[in-house]
Structure 1
């Protein structure tokens, strides 16, 4: 039963986001690592993100019954009841908020809670109603590195805004790639993602524009002397690789295979850059 509750929190999503939390935290630390603060930030945000994922499962229950990739989720198969999920989600949210309030700072808690509100009350509800659900979700997804950064800095400065913009621009091609790859699932659940409403070719063009925006924005960390030349080289190299992959998609005969490759590479690029930041800081 514990495994089912764990699945309800979407641990893969939490782990992926914690990598960007670490990047934001270490960028603001500038080599002055505070282990206790780092642990508190990671734990507090992990609980809040887990809570958001639990409520997302609850809100998406009827849609999940219609999609092949979500038909084995705990709420769908009935191993966890809806009331149990709500109590579990509330408990996670409370624990996370307590940790961030007492062991980080108030700004960090506010940002984390704003991300939770956007994800649960706006993205989870609106994604089945509007094609702009992806854009709303990208705001929530850009919060984790901001939380890591502000846990150290206790302020919203240029570095925080660059990190936030980076993540917003990264998530759009990431999500659009998933939407193309899982197009049949989204169609079955009647979720109005961009490839369904505007067409796959329009989505591909948007992907290219967002990749360019992501690469340029990511480079700003070096131009404003937060990171060094290694980070810049990797940003440009990986960004151009991602862009070339996207351009090939304009003529591909297998949209699903191409979209899957784009999705996987999006995970590679954000992981590599997040892990590079701590090793190429400018003091």
Structure 2
């Protein structure tokens, strides 16, 4: 079905993951005061922006996708959708998404969504993904933007809570992405993508993974310690961070199969960020305005 092709090119799995994150940021900031119209506009608008970015990424990556086993069946590679049709699809999704955000949320949330889109499509997809080992780090800024947009849709400003969300989700992206690059090592090598495990080796990538998880744990705990989330969130953040770190450290065992280990690490990264997003949605703290740091 042609409709299914246009749906697949938007990467529905990524959109769904971002739905949970943007909702987490929204509910954290709303502190129980839910504006259903604002919530729906934020979730739908940002989902369309993310979908637009994914379509553009597919258009840009159609040449390297031919060399990767997991992407050889994508519709732009097989010719099931023309490049012109895909581009038009992406532009339309973006226009509707940004329109919803601008009309129903506020300029701060809309500009942050635009920032994430530009980072993902312009800096990451068009440039750094193909040329630099730091592409993953820069790309993490776009991956971290959904909860920040959800938060700022409510507050209308980029404050300490938004900064902590940005830091948490940026740090989470790194072990998550490196794990993918390890168990898809052959694909990335064949496509010539200079991710850290390919460029500097899996051993170096494992070291980075451990330190990023430690940093992630510190940032995640700060959301509660600074008064934005409650003790339930604090306990869950501590438990998932410790468990994730233990999985990372198990990669140093001599008998470990790196690809099996990386898949396990990747799988738990999804559980970890989902758990945190859900907990910040239900275990927020009502923070008096004067207790917040000044907007950055």
- With structure 2 as the length reference, what TM-score do the two structures score? 0.95
2:146 alignment partner, one of 144, 147, 151: 144
Q: Which string of whole-angstrom CA distances, capped at 9 and with x for unpartnered residues, describes residues 177-214 of structure 1?
A: 00001000000101011001111010001000000000
Q: How does 1:119-138 map to 2 (within 5 A)?
A: 119-125=120-126, 126-138=128-140
Q: Which string of whole-angstrom CA distances, capped at 9 and with x for unpartnered residues, describes residues 9-61 of structure 1?
A: 00100110110100100011011111110000011111111110000000000
Quote the offset at 1:253 in angstroms: 2.8
Q: How does 1:1-283 map to 2 (within 5 A)?
A: 1-125=2-126, 126-251=128-253, 252-283=255-286
How far apart, in 2, do the equivalents of 1:108 and 1:19 lie? 17
How far apart, in 2, do the equivalents of 1:258 and 1:49 lie? 29
How far apart, in 2, do the equivalents of 1:24 and 1:279 lie? 11
> Secondary structure of 2:131's partner?
coil
Q: Unmatched 5+ residue regions in structure 1?
A: none
* Superposition RMSD in Å: 0.7
Q: Which string of whole-angstrom CA distances, capped at 9 and with x for unpartnered residues, describes residues 242-267 of structure 1?
A: 10111110124300000000000000
How far apart, in 2, do the equivalents of 1:53 and 1:60 lie? 10
How far apart, in 1, do the equivalents of 2:23 and 2:219 lie? 19
How far apart, in 2, do the equivalents of 1:13 and 1:127 lie? 18
Which sits farther off after the overlay, 62-71 or 249-258? 249-258
How far apart, in 2, do the equivalents of 1:30 and 1:257 lie? 40
> Secondary structure of 1:218's partner?
helix
How far apart, in 2, do the equivalents of 1:278 and 1:128 lie? 36
Q: Unmatched 5+ residue regions in structure 2?
A: 287-296
> Secondary structure of 2:67's partner?
coil
Moved over 2 A (4+): none
How many correspondences in the alignment? 283
- With structure 1 as the length reference, what TM-score do the two structures score? 0.99
